[in-house]
């Protein structure tokens, strides 16, 4: 079996593909490595994909376009040792019968943990208390900003997906009441959660929650879905959390709402990344900023994809396969 490993040399390879994973990969077949210090260009992917059976990818791999696939005379599996494949594969990949798998479930579980951490930090004002203590605010003035806690809180989830489902499990011990807005979910899909309600209205979901957490994929339909009009529905004193994609939110409108100090926010993603040095978000004390780090999953994702390649080689069912229907709902920066 011929395997193409597209990740270049450098920090990403060292972090996500330690030597043990590469030794395990070499045992599965003839491995062609990207020995450069930068990702393949589309043209380089075209040249290297010929006679390849399996492609192991990570971030920054070029899109598997029709032009690339014309050179993929043997390709049967794309194994992505990261999360979404929305900006990696295309409809044509599925039309050719090429199987696609990713570590999306593993990354999603880690992100859900991050969401819980962000919410707890947000409702308890941990970053604010820390800033004030370091600035030697008067003790009583610091303590006057009361934490709310998560126990019994009202949580609104905009979109669900894999991350949102893991978060529902993590939130159960807190006895929170949860409303979910996701037009793609069947009416009975959340029946196993007695404290979770599927809400047909985005407006109602936004206006109801003490905590608003975004979990929607970025698509043509969801780009700037959180418009100025929608953001105004969020109640005073609420917490707004975004670990999904920055472009789902009208960022200038969010900044204006935050400047009014109506609600607080924890942001892990932004419309433009890295966050610009002169972004007004950096000046606001009612927002906690993180550099797109909700997930801490690393080599575990690689081992999962190596195990998938082994299953593929033995003709066994894949455990992390991404169906075409699931792919269609994933974040994409291109028009299919």
Beta strand pairing status for 154-158 and 54-57? unpaired
Among candidate residues 224, 262, 292, 311, the one labeled active-site is 292
Catalytic residue (one of 273, 276, 285, 310): 273
- Report the candidate in 241, 206, 259 with the shortest Cα–Cα distance to residue 127: 241
- Is 125 a residue of the active site? no
DSSP state of 100: E
Burial of 212 (0-12, 13-18, 19+ CB in 10 A): buried
Question: Tokens for 41?
Answer: 């260009």
Q: 286 near 258, Cβ under 8 Å?
A: yes
Q: Residue 291: count other Cβ atoms within 10 Å of its Cβ.
A: 10
| Residue burial 61-72, b: 16+ Cβ < 10 Å; e: rest | bbbbbeebbeeb
Query: Is position 245 annotated as part of the catalytic site?
Result: yes
* 2 membership: H or E segment, kind and range: strand 2-5
- Residue 53's region, left for phi above 0, alpha for psi from -120 to 50, else beta, is alpha
* Active-site pick, 245, 251, 308, 320: 245
Alpha helices in the chain (DSSP H): 11-16, 19-26, 42-48, 66-69, 91-95, 104-123, 126-134, 139-143, 161-171, 202-208, 228-231, 251-259, 299-314, 324-328
Active site residue 320: no
Rg over alpha carbons for the chain, rounded to the nearest Å, is 22
Give the C-alpha separation, 119 to 133, whole Å.
21
Active site residues: 245, 273, 292
């Amino acid at each position: 079996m011929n395997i193409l490993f597209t990740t270049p040399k450098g920090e990403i390879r060292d972090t996500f593909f330690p030597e043990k994973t590469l030794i395990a990969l070499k045992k599965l077949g003839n491995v062609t490595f990207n020995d450069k210090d930068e990702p393949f260009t589309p043209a380089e992917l075209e040249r290297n994909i010929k006679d390849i059976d399996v492609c192991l990818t990570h971030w920054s791999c070029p899109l598997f376009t029709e032009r690339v696939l014309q050179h993929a005379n043997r390709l049967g599996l794309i194994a992505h040792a990261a999360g979404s494949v929305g900006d990696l594969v295309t409809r044509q990949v599925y039309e050719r019968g090429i199987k696609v798998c990713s570590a999306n479930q593993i990354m999603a579980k880690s992100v859900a943990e991050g969401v819980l951490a962000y919410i707890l930090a947000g409702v308890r004002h941990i970053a604010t208390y820390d800033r004030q203590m370091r600035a030697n605010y008067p003790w009583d003035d610091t303590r006057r900003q009361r934490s709310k806690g998560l126990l019994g809180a009202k949580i609104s989830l905009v979109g669900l997906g894999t991350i949102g489902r893991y978060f529902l499990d993590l939130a159960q011990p807190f006895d929170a009441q949860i409303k979910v807005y996701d037009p793609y979910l069947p009416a009975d899909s959340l029946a196993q959660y007695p404290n979770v309600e599927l809400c047909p209205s985005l407006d109602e979901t936004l206006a109801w929650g003490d905590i608003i957490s975004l979990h929607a994929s970025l698509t043509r339909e969801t780009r700037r879905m959180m418009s100025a009009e929608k953001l105004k529905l969020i109640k005073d004193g609420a917490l707004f959390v975004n670990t999904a994609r920055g472009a789902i939110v009208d960022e200038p409108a969010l900044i204006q709402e935050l400047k009014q100090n109506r609600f607080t926010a924890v942001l892990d993603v932004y419309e433009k990344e890295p966050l610009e040095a002169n972004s007004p978000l950096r000046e606001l004390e009612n927002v906690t900023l993180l550099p797109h780090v909700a997930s801490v999953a690393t080599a575990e994702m690689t081992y999962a994809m190596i195990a998938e390649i082994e299953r593929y080689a033995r003709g066994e069912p894949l455990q992390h396969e991404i169906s075409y229907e699931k792919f269609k709902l994933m974040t994409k920066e291109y028009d299919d």
